[in-house]
Amino acid sequence: MIATLGAGAALVLGVRWLPRPSGAARRASAASHESAFESHPLLRIDASGATTILVNKTEMGQGVWTSLPLILAEELDADWALVTIARAPSGPRYGKAATGGSDSVDSSWLPLRRAGATARVMLLTAAARRWGVDPTSCATRRGAVIHTPSGRRATYGELVGDASRLAVPDGRTVPLKPATEYHLLGTAIPRRDLEVKVHGAATFGIDVRPPGVLFACVERCPYFGGSLRSVDDAAARRLQGVRGTVQLGAVTAPLTRLPARVAVFANSTWAALQGRRALTIAWDPGAARGFSTDALSAACRASVDAEAQVAFRAGHPPLVIEPGARTVEAVYEVPFLAHATMEPMNATADVRDGRATIWAPTQAPDGIIDAVAARLGIPTDAVDVHVTFAGGGFGRRFYADFGVEAAELSAAAGAPVKVTWTREDDIQHDLYRPHRVARLRAVLDDRGLPTSWHTRLIGASWAEYWDPDTTRPWQHDWEGAQPPYAVRNVLIDFVALPSPVPIGAWRAVNNGENGFFMEVFVDELAHRARIDPIAYRLALLGDRPRARRVLEQVRDVSGWSRSAAGRGRGVGLGVAYYDYGGEQGGTQVAMVAEVTADDANVRVERIVCVIDCGLPVSPDTVRAQVEGSVAWAVGATLFGDLTVTGGRAVEGNFDRYRVLRMSEMPAVDVHIMPSTESPSGVGEPAVPPTAPAIVNAVFAATGRRIRRLPLSRTLGPASARPRS
């Protein structure tokens, strides 16, 4: 299991990357049944009992290098101390590699259980045949098979030869362990990626340096949709260490959007940066020269009554409100947001002899394979992608632009090329969360409960941006806008307003903004009805026991009864609920935020989150993911605001694009509901309720209803005070 990066091997948790095996390697593996057992592409057990489990998902801080192997190891009844973890190669043989949508555990749960159970049954059968006993008289325990009546014992390593000669059973028919027999799942097990990260031994994309690599920095057209007029690179070429420059045109392809560019090659990233600064470039701003986010905001708000395309309809929502009907209407707005991942975008490529090898911290290696193959005009099986650790993803690394760009530059240079983005590159050339305006309207009954609900979303369309020929521009943007409450008549429609600003997936995707719109609106309805906001939500949930339990639990553990006394006195509690993925297996989250606030400042003191994610595969990981989601969403709620003037992004670094600081981080209290249901996602579900819980708490503290984010725009630049 070998892969070479630079002059030395890239050690990852004691196991190096697995390249795609050659024909000779496959034949050698087939002939070595006596020394290894491979019943599944992601599993290998050798004669010593050492077990290697491959992970086909990108580890970007969310803990999949522990949670996914735990699932397989549990069903295998493996000795966890003998388990080593490695990254699976890219390719269909190793399963779906795309990592996003908070579905790694959800989508892998059953396949990994079946893989482990299949191997367990084969090893048990091998032992029973060796001993000439009934397999039902045998059991497995921590890497060994035991004959219960006699106490005879054989380790998995001792059985690999016999097991390798057995036919692999259909994984759909093998018995799976009941939850009552789990000894790994649901327990506090240290994450396997932490030690190498703390010691600095982990290999991230930004660490990759193959032999003979050139370093590149790229000056990209700062105007959205602009083009290159001219470039003078003479001064850059004279600098020490600079090896050359190249001009690259704009790219518009599935998963790949790149502007016109000029790249500088050098012997080091520093020299490439200096060379880039020495370029003299004239850009043509193009049609976007007059575009601004202020103008977009005004256009969206002016379009709340425009003709809309229906995305979802249930029951018979009235299109025209009858005179005298009790209605509540509100308009909300959220800005463009950048991802600002801790590790800026980067990729390394080696394109030669009709093949391309890419090293990248990508969430979608298959997407890079397809995009690079299409861009270079080579077969997809001539492209290899080695996935490194990633310093955050949040949806940004799901796209192929950074991998394609590295491949373009390597092809132009005729050598391996490493491309590193600066923080300014990262923020000013991101694929932003869309700017969105929403108008919500409800018709209420005599109790103040909605009988009809209408959400109108206005803004740029995801689908329309990535596929201009689409006939369904709303197909993604309304995700999470359907209320989880018992409302008979619901209408969700969409007004698409094209924008030159590049947009893409942002953590929780459309659920983030739609959760904000919906849960602040529900709070407004509750106060209009003079009903406690939690009691109001419970009245609307009907027969949904999981949803009701998380709300009741957050009420009980948050000190919610104190909220009534605190309203309007500078301290307030706010609640929000979110169903991430639907009642059939979706993650249920209830959240209470406590803030201190006045007309100019907000401090988020505490977040209490109750989450029902089914069986918590790794409880420590669940807590960490909730805490990370809260930090992510609190920062966006308080400060997140990417503005555009004259067709280009204004913010370029953390001095202008504010993120949450340690002194501003609230205390986070996470309560995981016990469950034996199949596990569901935890990476994103705590994001959508965070902003509305904070905004609802601000209302409780000040009596002021906030409908536009971020709070720094609404309340002023000093909208967050550090914790003392």
- CATH number, domain containing residue 97: 3.30.365.10
Whether residue 190 is found in the same domain as residue 265: no
Lowest average pLDDT, out of 90-104, 566-580, 623-637, goes to: 566-580
* pLDDT > 90? residue 22: no
Please report the pLDDT score of residue 316 as a whole number: 93
Of the pLDDT bands very low, low, confident and very high (cuts 50, 70, 90), residue 474 is: confident
Query: Is residue 331, in this structure, part of any structural domain at all?
Result: no
- Tell me the pLDDT tens digit for each residue of 42-56: 999 999 999 999 999
Residues 54 and 190 in one domain: yes
- One domain for residues 194 and 210: no
In the chain, how many domains are there?
Answer: 3
Tell me the residue ranges of DSSP E strands in 317-449.
327-334, 346-352, 355-360, 383-387, 417-420, 436-444
Assess whether pLDDT exceeds 60 at residue 31.
no
Q: Which of 435, 450, 701 is closest to 567 using CA atoms?
A: 701
End position of a domain, from candidates 183, 198, 213: 198
361 and 498 assigned to the same domain: no
Domain assignment of residue 650, yes or no: yes
Q: Using 50, 70 and 90 to split pLDDT, how confident is the model at 27?
A: very low
Token readout for 569 is 């006195």
Answer yes or no: is 310 within a domain: yes
Range of the domain at 400: 205-286+345-420
pLDDT of residue 664: 96
Last residue of a domain, one of 397, 420, 443: 420
Same-domain status, 147 and 132: yes
The predicted structure's pLDDT at residue 33: 39
pLDDT at 473 over 90: no
Are residues 119 and 83 in contact, defined by beta-carbon separation less than 8 angstroms? Answer: no
Claim to verify: residue 302 and residue 243 sit in the same structural domain = no
For the cut 60, the answer to whether the pLDDT of residue 720 exceeds it is: no
Q: Helix, strand or coil for residue 428? A: helix
Residue 182 has pLDDT above 50, yes or no: yes
- 482 confidence band (pLDDT: 50, 70, 90): very high
646, HSE (Cβ side, Cα atoms, 13 Å):
6
Q: Kindly indicate the confidence band of residue 10, based on its pLDDT and cuts at 50, 70 and 90.
A: very low
What average pLDDT does the chain have? Answer: 91
- Where helices occur in 64-103 by DSSP H, the ranges are 64-76
Q: How much is the pLDDT for 25?
A: 38
Mean per-residue pLDDT, 695-720: 85
pLDDT (tens digit per residue) in 244-262: 999 999 999 888 999 999 9
More confident of the two residues 567 and 88: 88
Together in a domain, 310 and 372: no
Classify residue 606: in a domain, yes or no. yes
Q: Which of 544, 611, 550 is nearest to 582 (CA)?
A: 544
Name the pLDDT band for 723 (thresholds 50, 70, 90).
very low
pLDDT of residue 28: 39
For 598-637, write each residue's pLDDT tens digit.
Answer: 888 999 999 999 999 999 999 999 999 999 999 999 999 9
Q: What pTM value is reported for the model?
A: 0.93
Same domain, 192 and 224: no
Confidence at 346, pLDDT banded by 50, 70, 90: very high
**Within a 13 Å sphere around the CA of 696, how many CA atoms are in the beta-carbon half?**
32
pLDDT above 70: percentage of residues in the chain: 92
Q: How confident is the model at residue 199 (pLDDT cuts 50, 70, 90)?
A: very high
Query: 516 and 540: one domain?
Result: yes
Check pLDDT > 80 for residue 332: yes
Cβ distance 370 to 398 under 8 Å?
Answer: no
Q: How confident is the model at residue 29 (pLDDT cuts 50, 70, 90)?
A: very low
Query: Could you read off the pLDDT of 365-378 as tens digits, one per residue?
Result: 999 999 999 999 99
Least confident of 16-20, 424-428, 502-506, 701-705: 16-20
Largest CA distance in the chain: 84
Of 359, 387, 420, the residue at which a domain comes to its end is 420
* 370 domain-assigned: yes
Rounded-to-integer distance, Cα 724 and Cα 722, Å: 6
Q: Are the C-beta atoms of 613 and 578 separated by less than 8 Å?
A: no
Give the model's pLDDT for residue 30: 39
What is the length of the chain?
724
308 phi, psi to nearest 5 deg: -125, 160
Q: Which of 1-10, 225-234, 499-508, 615-624 has the lowest mean pLDDT?
A: 1-10
pLDDT surpasses 50 at 4: no
CA distance 433 to 335: 8
The pLDDT of residue 349 is above 80: yes
pLDDT tier at 566, thresholds 50, 70, 90: low
Q: Helix or strand or coil: residue 333?
A: strand
Per-residue pLDDT for 16 more than 50?
Answer: no
Positive or negative: CA dihedral 669, 674, 675, 679: positive
Average pLDDT over residues 92-115: 94
Same domain, residue pair 19 and 38: yes
Whether 722 is in a domain gets the answer no
243 and 156 co-located in one domain? no
Q: Does 724 map to a domain? A: no
Specify whether 543 is located in the same domain as 641.
Answer: yes
For residues 439 and 333, what is the distance between their CA atoms, to the nearest angstrom?
9
Torsion of CA 130, 135, 138, 143, to 10 degrees: 70
At residue 582, the pLDDT reads 53
In-domain check, residue 426: no
Give the pLDDT band of residue 561 (cuts 50, 70, 90).
confident
Residue 80 scores a pLDDT above 70 = yes
The C-alpha atoms of residue 424 and residue 444 are separated, in whole angstroms, by: 48
- Say what the pLDDT of residue 564 is: 57
In DSSP terms, 216 is beta-bridged to 265, 419
Helix (H, G, I), strand (E, B) or coil at 352: strand
